[in-house]
Structures are given as structure tokens and as C-alpha cells.
């Protein structure tokens, strides 16, 4: 049997497929025995799986982010496919049609083009020399990571390039609002570019999306602030007052203590940064919920925890 794709799996049949491990949890049955709960994917879709026997053997083989040739049975659990794994082998390039490239998540849009838009916005709208310097320094140091990073583990912009897409969209709003309200455009755009830079430390998207030790202990607000402080210390003559205003944008961008900002926005630029972050993330959640519901007859969505409401789908 040739390796299959998930969309070819049939409940009640057995399967054989190259699958990547996205998540792996050792859990306990009530009788004290262990089993493994897995989340597997083939580049296009994902599927849950369980290992009931020889748990220790499987644990010694499987790594999160690894790709393997799995064999087992296709079941259904709670209305979704759920695999029972019987066997596993290392995947070998070229054997049985295995192509590692097929497992790299494809971006939804042209990452390079968006990156250039980001650069152009800085070039044309950030006039302050120190802020221009720090912006390009950031893109130089972290550009490749920034380009491909997830915007979040889930909720919204949770895909390759999501962080950059979200950032660019906000930078355009920042530019417009800075002119409309006569704000410090250089500061607001730079702060927008950097506001989520701590996410590069907080979450990882490869081998699979997840939170890091630093992310869990410091959070992206503090990680980002430390990082930007470090960048500033490497730029000669960065004014102290400007440093504090820029760091303040990062520190306060969640808008309130309840949402994790240790200080609330106290400048006009900080207020605006917080609100355009809310606009861009909320609208993205609307878009993702509406896309997901397409073809469905519901007027209103199911309850969306992040928005604490049901939304209109039509």
C-alpha cells in the first residue's frame, strides 16, 4: 500500500502515511497505565491519534516536529477522525515518495513583497534618524524570523507570516492616524513595527507552534522591552526621552493591566497603538470565523471566547 494523504483515510480501514508530529502528550488511564495522545499533519490537514501499546518505545522514537511513516487504524471519535497507531518508521527522503518539502507550511501570501512594503513604510514615513536606525537594525537582525513568524499560537494570525501581516496592516493605520491627529508619526510607526517583537522569543512556530520557557515566564511584553532596550544600547546617541517613549509603547500596548500591560497607555501614541492593535486583531478574528463558517446556514457563529460573543456570519 502506498502512503496516503489524510483526506484519503476511511473510518474502519487501516492506513499508512507520512505524518509530522505537531503535539505529543503522555497521559494516564484511570488504571495507571500510560498512553500517548498525538496531533499529526501531512502539510495540508491535521488529525488526532493515540498510541495505546508499547508507549515507551514510541516515546523514545517520536519527537515533536519529526516526520515518520505511521501505520494503524482509522477510527472516529467525537465526530472527528482519530487514529490508532500500531507502528512507526523513520521517514527517508525519496523512499516511497517521501518529500520533506511537502511538510513545510506554505505562506498564504508573498512574504518578500510584504517585507518590502514594511521597509518602504519605514523609509518614507519614519523621519527621526534614531527611530529609522532602530527600525532597520531590527529588520536586519531579526528580519528572516519576523518574515515567517506566526502572529499567535492560535486565535488569530496563527500561520506563517501572520506576525508580519498583522504588523504591516497596523503600520498603515498608524501612518494614517498619525497624520489625522498630528501625532509623532516616526515614533508611532516604529513602535508599531516593534510592539510584538517579543513574540519572536515567546512562541515558536517550528517544529510546531508552542510557547517557550521565556514566553511562559516573562511574556512577550517584557521580552520585547528587554530586546528593544538592548537594540537602543547599541545605537549611539539615542535620546533618553525618546527611549522611554518608545519602550512605553511596547510596555503599554495591551491597553490595561488586566490584559497584561504593567503600565497603561499614557501618551497619545500609546493609546493609538493599543486601539489599532485591537482593531486589526478583532477584524482578523471576524474574518477567520466567517471563512470557517462558509457554506453553513447559521446566522450567528458559535461563541468565540476571545471576543466573548457570537458574531453575525452573513
Nearer to a second copy, 123 or 266 (CB): 266
49 strand-pairing partners: 38, 83
Terminal Cα distance for the chain, rounded: 44
Place of cell 466567517: 290
Binding letters toward a second copy, positions 282-301, x by CB under 8 A: xx--x--------xxxxxx-
CA distance linking residue 134 with residue 243, whole number of Å: 11
The whole-angstrom separation of Cα 65 and Cα 56 is 18
Task: Find the radius of gyration of the CA atoms of the chain.
Answer: 23
Of residues 20 through 59, those in contact with a second copy by CB under 8 A are 24-27, 29-35, 37, 45-48, 50, 52
Contacts of 54 (CB under 8 A, 6+ apart): none
Nearer to a second copy, 95 or 298 (CB): 298
**Nearest distance from residue 94's CB to a second copy, in Å?**
26
Task: Note the Cα 143 to chain centre separation in Å.
Answer: 16
Of the pair 24, 121, the CB lying nearest a second copy is at: 24
**Residue choice 66, 132, 264, 288 for contact with a second copy (CB under 8 A):** 264
Q: Does 258 bind a second copy (CB under 8 A)?
A: yes
Q: How far is the CB of 92 from a second copy (least distance, A)?
A: 25
- Nearest CB to a second copy, comparing residues 14 and 212: 212
Q: Which of 165, 162, 166, 168 is nearest to 150 (CA)?
A: 162
Sole binder of a second copy in the list 140, 154, 213, 305 (CB under 8 A):
213
260 binds a second copy (CB under 8 A): yes
Q: Does residue 4 belong to the site contacting a second copy (CB under 8 A)?
A: no
Amino acid at each position: 500500500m502506498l502512503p496516503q494523504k489524510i483526506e484519503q483515510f476511511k473510518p474502519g480501514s487501516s492506513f499508512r502515511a507520512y505524518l509530522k508530529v505537531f503535539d505529543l502528550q503522555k497521559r494516564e488511564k484511570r488504571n495507571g497505565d500510560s498512553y500517548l495522545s498525538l496531533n499529526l499533519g501531512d502539510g495540508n490537514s491535521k488529525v488526532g491519534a493515540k498510541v495505546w501499546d508499547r508507549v515507551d518505545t514510541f516515546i523514545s522514537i517520536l519527537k515533536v516536529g519529526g516526520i515518520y511513516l505511521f501505520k494503524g487504524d482509522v477510527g472516529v471519535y467525537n465526530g472527528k477522525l482519530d487514529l490508532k497507531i500500531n507502528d512507526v518508521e523513520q521517514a527517508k527522503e525519496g523512499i516511497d515518495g517521501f518529500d520533506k518539502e511537502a511538510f513545510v507550511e506554505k505562506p498564504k501570501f508573498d512574504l518578500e513583497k510584504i517585507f518590502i512594503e514594511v521597509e518602504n513604510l519605514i523609509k518614507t514615513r519614519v523621519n527621526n534618524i534614531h527611530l529609522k536606525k532602530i527600525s532597520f537594525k531590527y529588520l536586519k537582525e531579526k528580519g528572516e524570523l519576523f518574515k515567517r513568524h506566526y502572529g499567535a499560537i492560535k486565535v488569530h494570525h496563527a500561520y506563517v507570516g501572520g506576525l508580519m501581516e498583522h504588523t504591516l496592516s497596523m503600520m498603515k493605520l498608524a501612518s494614517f492616524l498619525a497624520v489625522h491627529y498630528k501625532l509623532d508619526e516616526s515614533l508611532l510607526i516604529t513602535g508599531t513595527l516593534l510592539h510584538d517583537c517579543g513574540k519572536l522569543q515567546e512562541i515558536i512556530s517550528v517544529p510546531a507552534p508552542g510557547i517557550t520557557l521565556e514566553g511562559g515566564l516573562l511574556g512577550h511584553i517584557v521580552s520585547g522591552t528587554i530586546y528593544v532596550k538592548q537594540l537602543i544600547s547599541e545605537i549611539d546617541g539615542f535620546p533618553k526621552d525618546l527611549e522611554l517613549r518608545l519602550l512605553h509603547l511596547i510596555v503599554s500596548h495591551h491597553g490595561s493591566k488586566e490584559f497584561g500591560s504593567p503600565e497603561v497607555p499614557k501618551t497619545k501614541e500609546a493609546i493609538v497603538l493599543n486601539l489599532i492593535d485591537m482593531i486589526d486583531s478583532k477584524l482578523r478574528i471576524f474574518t477567520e470565523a466567517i471563512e470557517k463558517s462558509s457554506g453553513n446556514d447559521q446566522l450567528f457563529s458559535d461563541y468565540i471566547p476571545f471576543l466573548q460573543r457570537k458574531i453575525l456570519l452573513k
